Amino acid sequence: MRKRIIILIVLAIGLIIGYNYIYQDHRDIESENAKYKMTTSDIALSFSENISESEAKYLNTTIEVVGKISESDSHSITLDDKVFCQFTNAIQNTIKPNSQLKVKGRVIGYDDLLEQVKLDQCIIAN
């Protein structure tokens, strides 16, 4: 009888630990400090020279990028045709093309067809 109780307690503790490990809180990019601060040219050059090394360095990290807006819509901005920034919330209509902008976001990869670095969970850091 004691063995069963001990086994049930150990099993319950294991289930609680496993549940907490699997269902962790999501990252809050807005409150994180940027690990790297750079221009769009710097990060695009880094990825175009050596994709695997750059992915190892930047992938899933929070960065801050400065560049001119080349394209924008309600949930995304492209800076200097080199960095694509996807926002969680809708962007204000006050943003104008060719204006300088600082964006903070998480690097999710590099699109070698369009030659763009992809960021998500972005916020405007100006």
pLDDT digits (tens, 9 = 90+) for 79-96: 999 999 999 888 877 778
Q: How do residues 26-49 score in pLDDT, each as one tens digit?
A: 777 777 888 999 999 999 999 989
**What pLDDT is stored for residue 22 in this prediction?**
84
pTM here is 0.76
Q: Which domains does the chain have, with CATH numbers?
A: 36-124 (2.40.50.140)
Q: How do residues 12-27 score in pLDDT, each as one tens digit?
A: 999 999 888 888 767 7
**DSSP H or E stretch at residue 107:** strand 100-111
| Exposed/middle/buried for residue 42 (C-beta within 10 Å: 0-12, 13-18, 19+) | middle
